[in-house]
Structure 1
Amino acid sequence: MGGLFRKPHVTTDQTKTRKPAKTEASSGLQGVSAVERALTVLTAFQRGDGVVSLAELTKRTGLVKTTVMRMALSLESFGLIKRVEDGGYRLDAEVMRLAACYQHAFGLADHVTPVLERLARSTGETASFYTRRGEQRLCLFRVESASPIRMHVQSGDLRPMDKSAIAQVLRHFDVGRVAPKIDVPIYTSGVTDPHAASLAMPVFGPGGGLLGALALSGPVTRLTADYAERIRPELKAAGDELTKACGG
């Protein structure tokens, strides 16, 4: 089967690094351009990277080499990246420490993973949890279908904010309010890839803020509209369960 579906194998993430949008908060405050450039360099690293050359970082960020080098010096002083002998760069230990702090403070995996495992087992489809990252969606957690034919996406991958059910949920409920005339879970089939279908449900946290999208995905030949209708109540119940568990 073509498109995004194939037998799973390990590959390097080819997602292009998104340049941060220059936004202005309602208070009138603006971000610091030098900080944004430094974070552009830091977030240019992709899953599967070892050492990344200066030329490659320049290509990924769109910044000139001298700027990348200056930003890298600042990041290196905080232990976020490290320059190696051949002139390339790799992520350093501070990134791991921050990731551990995030997981400890948020504890989302403890709530989400058991729900994903249950959904994947009962529906036969891949279960995922996505959050929004600007104009991209991040696959935060994922439990694969037992089928050898499944979507070639892994935890940590970035996908565009397209017309898929997952992106629609992240877009419509981004402000934490139920969007008018939106019946959830949302189902889409073949809208961004002719072989991919998905069913997605919002999950909310304290104060009604959107935590992410709980989703089931699979090939259009298996996750049909009829089958999606049959499993809608199960996904909705799981989404409501997660919302309650996360304080929403």
Structure 2
Amino acid sequence: MTRKPRAVPALEGVASAERTLALLSAFRKGDATLTLAELSARTGLVKSTIMRLAVSLEAFGYLSRTGDGEYRLEAELLRLGMIYQQSFRLEAHVMPVLEKLVEKTGESASFYIRRDEQRLCLFRADSPHRLRLHVRQGDLLPMDSSAIAQVLRLFTTVPLPAEAAMLDFPLYTGGVSDPHVAGMASPVFGPDAQFAGALTLAGPLARLTEETGRNIAPLLRDAATALTRSLGGRMPEIPTPPPTAAPRKPR
């Protein structure tokens, strides 16, 4: 007799744990200390709740209180961060995202980084179709006008150009470097909004048409957002281009 698999019960988070994590996450780059009022403003928690949570965090070495009554992060967080860095494997974060994109779109998914004036395919999951773009992990390709190269070029430029604010990601190009190939690319970011690489889809232009690209764009965009979150990243602040001055009327 075949047993039916047991349904996994839906689990909910613990409210007190979520409040504690929100308190730690309130600290940003450059914050040496934060006042009780600043923590309350950033978390939406009342001051009495923050003070109670802080007592537990202090006991476990995550937080301390200065002589001025302000709060600062403590060394236990550094210890955990070092453990995370030692165990971190980019492949473990990227490959499941690529495989899911292939499953949903049927096209090959890759993760590219820039190497000078070339783009390096760091990770790849191939399309199940026989007709596909044959690129392997470790291949170096030119920084051409493809969507992939455009994203790599744009986000490795310092400072970030204002034109980035005017673009709608993912970018799509068809027949640019090869008349038979189309590609799409979205940026992925790591900690401190550092550019991590380009998450891409590529396939034959006959199948990955511009219309198809528009239909699957939300899948690639959501995947890039999820991978950014998985890497502990966030989108950078993109400067908006200055408004165009109105032409002067002749006197």
- Is the TM value for this pair above 0.5? yes
**Which residue in the other structure is 2:150 paired with?**
168
CA RMSD of aligned residues (A): 1.7
Matched, 1:131 2:113: yes
Matched, 1:201 2:183: no
Contact residue 175 and residue 210 of structure 1 kept, 8 A: no
Letter in 2 for 1:189: G
Q: Return the structure number with greater relative CO, CA threshold 8 A, min gap 6.
A: 1
Q: How many residues matched?
A: 146
Q: 1:140 to 1:105 in 2, by over 3 A?
A: farther
1:207: how far off?
1.1
d(CA) in 1 for partners of 2:227, 2:189: 8
1:105: how far off?
6.0
Q: 1:113 aligns with which of 95, 103, 106?
A: 95
Q: TM-score, normalised by structure 2?
A: 0.56
**Which residue in the other structure is 1:156 paired with?**
138
**Which residue in the other structure is 1:49 paired with?**
none
Q: 1:185 aligns with which of 159, 170, 174?
A: 170
What is the percent sequence identity of the aligned residues?
Answer: 55
Contact residue 125 and residue 144 of structure 1 kept, 8 A: yes
Letter in 2 for 1:181: M
Larger radius of gyration: 2
d(CA) in 2 for partners of 1:184, 1:170: 13
d(CA) in 2 for partners of 1:106, 1:131: 18
d(CA) in 2 for partners of 1:164, 1:225: 14
d(CA) in 2 for partners of 1:112, 1:235: 13
Q: SS of the counterpart of 1:122?
A: helix
Contact residue 203 and residue 213 of structure 1 kept, 8 A: yes
Q: 1:232 aligns with which of 209, 217, 226?
A: 217
Q: TM-score, normalised by structure 1?
A: 0.57
Contact residue 174 and residue 209 of structure 1 kept, 8 A: no
**Which residue in the other structure is 2:228 paired with?**
243
